[in-house]
């Protein structure tokens, strides 16, 4: 009977959510004023004020938009293969998608974090998470390319990442699905969850100059689900705060069974103390198997290494590392204000917003103002940690960011709105409808010590009537608000690549000034680089054929190749000889089961091709590069296996027989 009641209540809540999502807010018709178009207009030849980096969800990639225009500037390949750029198809990039499970060509990319120095965005790197096969990537913002991907061991579902410390000492990740540890027997009954399943928080160190990542240590916690997190700052520097749900430790029908308690928890983690313990050798080294992939912009190639161990700290053995703070059930966002004093929790089904005080948390810890424990972790009394509650702000609070003027902005999924409230007096100042059911939101620098303010972007889960219909699935949606005044003002709707989750914005000038225009040819250390057309050649090594090829406006060298046989492994090592900005060349082969190449100025990239039948196969440039782009082509003759046709190649020279025919 009880079970049926839970299911009925759950269904009723779902119906209410659906009804709310499908109804237009009352002031939907005049949400934007007459000057909105002018506010978002960026004249031809002018730059946007901001870069907006948006997670790609199930696309596995990161997309980059200009703000305020909402124009799509770039899609950065990260965890999924990308035929446009040859990511995951070229021989140089394939190993970037290597994992302990083999090559994984798809990822589920949810959250992003820009690197920081002294709690402010520094414009060096962008970190991205992968939920499905736990990984963290580092993107170099000089080149807008993924330069490193590290797999997270002892984790299942890397939703709770990547979150960074004030000086990017660590990128932190919490596991979404608790599971048995990798070095333990995972072949156990699912209903042994409470006994055998564990959660982990992984601390990945980041080298201060080059940015290289390393799994420094992992904290082992009771089995539950970790959701979102933010690092402390100012007085709370040295701490991390995670939202946790499923404190019931359910393993089936979580919709019901993980929503029984009135409260779940915010987990407060003293990461600096944990790092000290590891430095003292108090962690336990265990076997692990996980991939660490890096891409060099000097060799233009990736390398993949399998790591074999990790360091674990079981929090039950270190009682001064973590503490639980009760929070309305099923919390999602966990956000720290610019001062570092206030921590905002958000229960997804709650009708209030709890705000916790770091000072009060520290007093409660010092005075041991506990309300029992959870799996051996002290639980602070709710009132002892609470600064106050924002009363009746809306339904379904998810995420909060800050404008640097003492105000917070929270998305409400169920009531489809953004609510502005004051951090100190907890009063609601403004609310604006969204279209519909917003998840994350982004304010430039909104999670740092010094937010830039001015704009807010909401990333909505449902669009309904906002765009032209496109079949059963509608366009993913973002909405731009002006937050420079007392009242929020909707300026723009624009579609996004699906599915947008968390995003970050930064002033364009911080990144654009360092943007790399070309790769210097004289610095190219690729093992198959061809330094000039005179060095182009074709070399057979058994059944492998290496084509040392160059590309420049508007031809390949060589462009005629003979002597290739069915079943050969043909490697086209294409070097783009251009040294002008924005002159990439593409390279494609008829019938190749791989993708194309996209080669930047000064870069060398390799396409592997295994011809399966004899015949004539055109090769051509796939990226429009000049007025004679169509003429940038050639041919590869493929002969049968065992053929005596020797390897030969040429450029710009017709045979004597062909010349005679042309004369006739």
Asked whether residue 37 is domain-assigned, the answer is no
Q: In total, how many domains does the chain have?
A: 2
Contacts of 272 (CB under 8 A, 6+ apart): 238, 239
CATH code for position 559: 2.60.40.420
Query: 509 with 611, same domain?
Result: no
Last residue of a domain, one of 513, 540, 561: 513
Asked whether residue 637 is domain-assigned, the answer is yes
Asked whether residue 7 is domain-assigned, the answer is no
Q: Once rounded to an integer, what is the mean pLDDT over residues 133-161?
A: 97
Asked whether residue 320 is domain-assigned, the answer is yes
Last residue of a domain, one of 493, 513, 533: 513
**Given a cut of 90, is residue 114 above it in pLDDT?**
yes
Asked whether residue 122 is domain-assigned, the answer is yes
As a whole number, the mean pLDDT across the chain is 93
Last residue of a domain, one of 513, 539, 564: 513
Asked whether residue 63 is domain-assigned, the answer is yes
Q: Once rounded to an integer, what is the mean pLDDT over residues 7-21?
A: 41
Query: 296 with 221, same domain?
Result: yes
Query: 509 with 530, same domain?
Result: no
Query: 307 with 386, same domain?
Result: yes
Name the residue range of residue 598's domain. Answer: 524-663
Query: 462 with 590, same domain?
Result: no
**Given a cut of 70, is residue 141 above it in pLDDT?**
yes
Output the pLDDT for position 523. 97
Contact status, residue 442 vs residue 423, Cβ threshold 8 Å: no
pLDDT tens digit string along 563-585? 999 999 999 999 999 999 999 99
**Given a cut of 70, is residue 317 above it in pLDDT?**
yes
Query: 159 with 117, same domain?
Result: yes
Query: 361 with 461, same domain?
Result: yes
pLDDT tens digit string along 454-504? 999 999 999 989 999 999 989 989 999 999 999 999 999 999 998 899 999
Of 345, 440, 427, residue with least CA distance to 392: 427
Query: 407 with 552, same domain?
Result: no
21-25, 288-292, 426-430, 652-656: the lowest-pLDDT one: 21-25
Asked whether residue 216 is domain-assigned, the answer is yes
CATH code for position 184: 2.130.10.10
C-alpha pair distances (Å), 605 with each of 144, 516, 580, 599, 659:
17, 18, 18, 6, 34
Q: Which residues partner with 532 through β-bridges?
A: none
Q: Once rounded to an integer, what is the mean pLDDT over residues 89-93?
A: 97
Q: Vertex 661, ends 659 and 664: CA angle to 5°?
A: 115
Instruction: Give the number of other CB atoms < 10 A from CB of residue 214.
Output: 12
Query: 490 with 591, same domain?
Result: no
Query: 424 with 568, same domain?
Result: no
H-assigned helices in 396-554: 508-512
Query: 472 with 586, same domain?
Result: no
Asked whether residue 567 is domain-assigned, the answer is yes
Question: Predicted confidence band at 653 (pLDDT cuts at 50, 70, 90)?
Answer: confident
C-alpha pair distances (Å), 30 with each of 26, 394, 434:
9, 21, 13
Query: 396 with 303, same domain?
Result: yes
Q: What is the pTM of this model?
A: 0.93
Contact status, residue 54 vs residue 72, Cβ threshold 8 Å: no
């Amino acid at each position: 009977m009880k079970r049926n009641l839970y299911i009925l209540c759950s269904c009723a809540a779902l119906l209410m959510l659906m009804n709310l999502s499908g109804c237009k807010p009352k002031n939907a018709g005049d949400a934007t004023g007459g000057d909105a178009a002018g506010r978002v207009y960026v004249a031809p030849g002018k730059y946007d004020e901001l870069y907006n980096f948006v997670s790609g969800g199930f696309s596995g990639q990161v997309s980059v938009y200009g703000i305020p225009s909402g124009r799509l500037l770039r899609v950065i390949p990260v965890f999924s293969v990308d035929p446009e750029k040859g990511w995951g198809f070229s021989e140089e990039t394939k190993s970037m998608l290597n994992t302990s499970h083999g090559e994984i060509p798809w990822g589920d990319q949810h959250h992003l974090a820009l690197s920081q120095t002294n709690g402010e965005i520094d414009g060096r790197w962008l970190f991205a998470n992968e939920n499905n096969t736990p990984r963290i990537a580092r993107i170099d913002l000089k080149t807008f390319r993924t330069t490193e991907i590290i797999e997270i061991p002892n984790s299942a579902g890397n939703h709770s990442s990547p979150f960074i410390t004030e000086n990017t000492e660590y990128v932190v990740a919490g596991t979404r699905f608790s599971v048995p540890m990798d070095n333990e027997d995972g072949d156990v009954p699912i209903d042994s969850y409470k006994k055998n399943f564990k959660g982990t928080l992984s601390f990945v160190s980041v080298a201060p100059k080059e940015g290289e990542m390393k799994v420094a240590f992992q904290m082992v916690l009771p089995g539950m689900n970790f959701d979102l997190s933010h690092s402390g700052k100012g007085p709370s520097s040295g701490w991390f705060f995670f939202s946790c749900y499923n404190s019931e430790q359910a393993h089936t029908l979580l919709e019901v069974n993980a929503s029984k308690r009135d409260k779940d928890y915010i987990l407060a983690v003293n990461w600096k103390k944990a790092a000290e313990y590891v430095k003292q050798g108090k962690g336990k080294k265990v076997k692990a198997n996980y991939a660490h992939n890096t891409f060099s912009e000097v060799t233009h190639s990736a390398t993949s290494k399998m790591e074999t161990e990790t360091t674990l700290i079981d929090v039950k053995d270190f009682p001064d590392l973590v503490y639980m703070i009760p929070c309305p059930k099923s919390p999602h966002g966990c956000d720290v204000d610019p001062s570092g004093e206030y921590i905002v929790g958000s229960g997804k089904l709650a009708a209030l917003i709890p705000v916790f005080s770091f000072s009060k948390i520290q007093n409660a810890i010092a005075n041991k103002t506990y309300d029992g424990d959870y799996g051996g972790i002290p639980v602070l009394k709710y009132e002892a940690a609470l600064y106050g509650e924002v009363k009746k702000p809306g339904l379904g609070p998810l995420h909060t960011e800050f404008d640097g003027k003492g105000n917070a902005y929270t998305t409400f999924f169920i009531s489809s709105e953004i609510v502005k409230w004051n951090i100190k007096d907890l009063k609601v100042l403004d609310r604006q409808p969204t279209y519909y059911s917003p998840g994350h939101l982004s304010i430039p620098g909104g999670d740092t010590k010094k937010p830039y303010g001015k704009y807010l972007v909401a990333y909505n889960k449902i669009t309904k009537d906002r765009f032209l219909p496109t079949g059963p699935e509608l366009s993913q949606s973002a909405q731009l608000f002006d937050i420079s005044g007392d009242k929020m003002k909707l300026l723009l709707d624009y579609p996004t690549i699906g599915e947008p989750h968390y995003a970050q914005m930064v002033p364009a000038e911080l990144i654009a000034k360092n943007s790399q225009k070309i790769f210097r040819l004289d610095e190219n250390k690729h093992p198959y680089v061809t330094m000039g057309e005179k060095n182009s050649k074709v070399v057979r090594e058994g059944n492998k054929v290496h084509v040392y090829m160059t590309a420049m406006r508007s031809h390949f060298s060589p462009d005629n190749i003979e002597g290739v046989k069915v079943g050969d492994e043909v490697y086209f090592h294409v070097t783009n000889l251009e040294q002008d900005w924005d002159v990439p060349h593409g390279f494609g082969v008829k019938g190749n089961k791989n993708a194309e190449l996209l080669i930047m100025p000064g870069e060398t990239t390799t396409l592997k091709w295994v011809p399966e039948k004899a015949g004539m196969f055109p090769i051509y440039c796939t990226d429009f590069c000049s007025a004679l782009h169509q003429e940038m082509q050639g041919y590869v003759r493929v002969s049968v296996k065992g053929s005596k046709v020797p390897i030969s190649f040429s450029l710009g020279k017709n045979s004597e027989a062909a010349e005679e025919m042309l004369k006739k």
